[in-house]
């Protein structure tokens, strides 16, 4: 049997359907009203939310106790300058990812203030940093727990039981994942602030599924029954 593929043609435009829409529209649609921003949830309050605050999601989470507030130290400046040196002098913007990684490493997540600092360092408008932060799932916009679990949810791990692992981790740490959204708000933090979980896409170790990353440590073959052991490794 040869594998010839028949390509279905797109459905023809149904003129009558268009006419129906013209006659009977506008169909009433309930548009939810925009909720006013709850100022108390924003960590960095001014009288008016800045463009950064409006565009990045940074409510205070129980995880915030684990991280110092953003502060520029000489050490950070020096590390940033080293990173910037890796790129041609007229292409400082290339260092935006490395600088954001530095910030996230020290302060847990990317806050509006740190965006201003990165933008200043690279001589670009803050919005150019915001667009990067909001695109990449690797940059967190709110404080995770002290130990951040990233569980792989892609095919091989799912077959190996990563959904069960996630359920077990949430059960043990008391995390409620019901509000999580893979695009807008992927991270869920435990009430104690020690743990947080997130689904990751294929972590490139499908042969040892299911796998997860805890902060920077990689763990293989963590089936749900090993969840307890895994968490006890991280209880300090």
Partner 1 sequence: MSDIKYLPGKEPHEKECRLIFKNVDRQGWDTSIETYLNDGGYEVLKKSLGMDPKAVTEDVKGSGLRGRGGAGFPTGIKWGFIPPKNTKPVYLICNCDESEPGTFKDRYIVHQDPHQLIEGMVISAYAVGAHTAYIYIREEFPEAAITLERAIAEARAKGFLGQNIQGSGFDLEIYVHRGAAAYICGEETGLIESLEGKRPYPRIKPPYFPAAMGLYMAPTIVNNAESLCHVVHILRMGGEEYVKLGTPRNSGTRILCVSGDVKKTGYFEVEVGKITFRELLYDMCGGPKDGREFKAVIPGGSSSKILRCNESFTIGRGDDAKDLSFWDLPLDFDTLAAAGSMAGSGGVIVMDDTRRMSWVLNNITHFYAHESCGQCTPCREGSTWMKKVSDRIENGQAVPDDVKTLEEIAYQIDGKTVCAFGEASAWPVEGMIDKFRDELVGETSEDNDFKTAERIAQEEFLSTAQ
Instruction: Give whichever of 80 and 152 is closer to ligand FES, judged by the CB atom.
Output: 152
**In contact, 210 and 222? CB cutoff 8 Å:** yes
Give the DSSP H/E element, type plus range, for residue 197. Answer: strand 195-200
Number of residues assigned to the chain: 236
157 makes contact with ligand FES (CB under 6 A): yes
122 makes contact with partner 1 (CB under 8 A): yes
211 makes contact with ligand FES (CB under 6 A): yes
Query: Contact with ligand FES (CB under 6 A): which of 52, 99, 166, 209?
Result: 209
Query: Contact with ligand FES (CB under 6 A): which of 50, 55, 154, 215?
Result: 154
Query: Contact with partner 1 (CB under 8 A): which of 52, 58, 205, 219?
Result: 205
- Count, residues near partner 1 per rule CB under 8 A: 58
DSSP track, 79-126:
HHHHHHTTS-GGGGGGGHHHHHHHHHHHHSS--HHHHHHHHHHHTS-H
DSSP state of 192: T
CB of 54 to ligand FES, least distance (A): 35
Question: CB neighbours (10 Å) of residue 148?
Answer: 23
Instruction: Give whichever of 172 and 202 is closer to partner 1, judged by the CB atom.
Output: 202
Alpha-carbon span 169 to 175, nearest angstrom: 8
**Could you give the string, one character per residue 73-92, with x where binding to partner 1 holds by CB under 8 A and - elsewhere?**
-------------x-x--x-
Judged by the rule CB under 6 A, the positions of this chain that interact with ligand FES are 152, 154-157, 202-206, 209, 211
């Amino acid at each position: 049997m040869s594998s010839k593929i028949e390509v279905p043609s797109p459905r023809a435009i149904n003129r009558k359907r268009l006419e129906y829409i013209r006659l009977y529209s506008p169909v009433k649609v309930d548009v939810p009203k925009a909720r006013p921003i709850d100022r108390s949830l924003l960590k960095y309050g001014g009288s008016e939310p800045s463009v950064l605050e409006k565009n990045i999601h940074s409510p205070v989470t129980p995880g915030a106790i684990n991280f110092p507030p953003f502060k520029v130290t000489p050490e950070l400046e020096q590390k940033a300058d080293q990173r910037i040196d890796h790129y041609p002098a007229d292409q400082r913007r290339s260092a935006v990812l490395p600088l954001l990684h530095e910030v996230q490493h020290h302060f847990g997540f990317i806050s509006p203030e740190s965006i201003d600092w990165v933008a200043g360092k690279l001589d670009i408008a803050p919005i150019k940093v915001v667009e990067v932060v909001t695109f990449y799932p690797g940059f967190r916009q709110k404080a995770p727990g002290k130990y951040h679990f990233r569980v792989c949810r892609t095919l091989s791990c799912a077959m190996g039981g990563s959904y069960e692992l996630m359920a077990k981790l949430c059960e043990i740490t008391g995390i409620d994942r019901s509000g999580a959204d893979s695009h807008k708000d992927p991270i869920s933090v435990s009430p104690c602030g020690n743990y947080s979980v997130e689904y990751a896409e294929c972590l490139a170790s499908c042969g040892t599924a299911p796998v997860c990353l805890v902060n920077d440590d990689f763990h293989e073959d963590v089936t749900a029954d090993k969840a307890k052991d895994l968490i006890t490794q991280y209880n300090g």
